[in-house]
Amino acid sequence: MRVRVLGTAAGGGVPQWNCACPGCSGARAHPGWRRRHASLAVQAGEGRWYLVNATPDLGDQVEDYPELHPGPEPRRTPLAGVILTDAELDHTLGIARLREADGIEIVATAPVRHALLTGLHLGEVLTPYARLDWRPLGPEDRPLGEGSPLAVGAVPVSAKRPRYAAGLDAPDDGAWVVALRLTDRATGRTLLYAPALAAWPDAFQRAAEHADCVLVDGTFWSDDEPLTSGFGARTATAMGHLPIEGPDGTAHRLAALEARTLYTHLNNTNPLNDPTAPQHSGLRKLGVEVAADGMVIDL
């Protein structure tokens, strides 16, 4: 299994267009600090890739990596579709960037599909340009296309809805936000991807124990970071993201796993955006990595 990390930032990116916090200003001064919105490209076959989440940076993310470029025919693309972990805007706005295609395959859970169709009205807006081919995403592993060596399944994480979907008539269940389990069907190797973890349910713990690589929500370093940074009125946990540090944080849970473990989806307030921050050495001692834009994970 080959996975390309297309971005590692939470909503807004690093830098965020209207923000001059230390992380964003640092990224303007040091281009190496920049992070695009969190996304992956996963290889589902020879010259066949799926995007995991479709971010506002999607066009640039495709251009950054030759394996995602079209060719050799003028309108042949290696992008087969998009797999969604949730319906948040920073994970779905990029779908509109794909409207030049004849059809867009979208692999999503029932509540995510419902939110995109009835909250964002994506069907009404996009189908005059491109067909939307919806594929169900559920707990059972399904191959990504007929004969694909890669399978995907969902591990429900939380019932946190996007703000635009607060009033939608839809059941509250854990399929609003899921972790993706990507499995190489030949080798059995597994990657678990969870960019939004409002909770750490038992099913997620079991999936993490069976995974070879675990890439999770590193939005906030501490639970009070949104408050102390002056940009939020709620804790990290209340915003749907378990913090990294502390007794309810995720670092000690990751350190206990046998898998290779990495953080992604960093908010611009996260001190980890500064490569010289002391928080990095603490994570290194625990054996936990911070994902970087452009890295390749081969499993």
Location of structure tokens 């296309």? 145
Residues in contact with Zn ion, total (CB under 5 A)?
5
- Does 24 bind Zn ion (CB under 5 A)? Our answer is yes
Q: Which stretch binds Zn ion (CB under 5 A): 22-30, 154-162, 200-208, 232-240?
A: 22-30
- Does 19 bind Zn ion (CB under 5 A)? Our answer is yes
**Closest separation between CB of residue 224 and Zn ion, Å?**
17
Q: Which stretch binds Zn ion (CB under 5 A): 17-25, 44-52, 64-72, 197-205?
A: 17-25
| Contact by Cβ (8 Å): 52, 79 | no
Q: Which is nearer to Zn ion, 23 or 195 (CB)?
A: 23
- Does 268 bind Zn ion (CB under 5 A)? Our answer is yes
- Does 270 bind Zn ion (CB under 5 A)? Our answer is no
- Interface residue with Zn ion among 5, 9, 10, 21 (CB under 5 A) is 21
Q: Which stretch binds Zn ion (CB under 5 A): 14-22, 56-64, 159-167, 244-252?
A: 14-22
CB-based contacts of 165-174 (< 8 A; 24+ apart in sequence): 165/87, 165/115, 165/119, 168/114, 168/115, 168/118, 168/119, 170/111, 170/114, 170/115, 171/111, 173/111, 174/201
Of 125, 149, 175, 196, which Cα lies nearest the Cα of 45? 149
Of 264, 265, 258, 267, which Cα lies nearest the Cα of 287? 258
Q: Which is nearer to Zn ion, 16 or 183 (CB)?
A: 16
Q: Which residues contact Zn ion by CB under 5 A?
A: 16, 19, 21, 24, 268
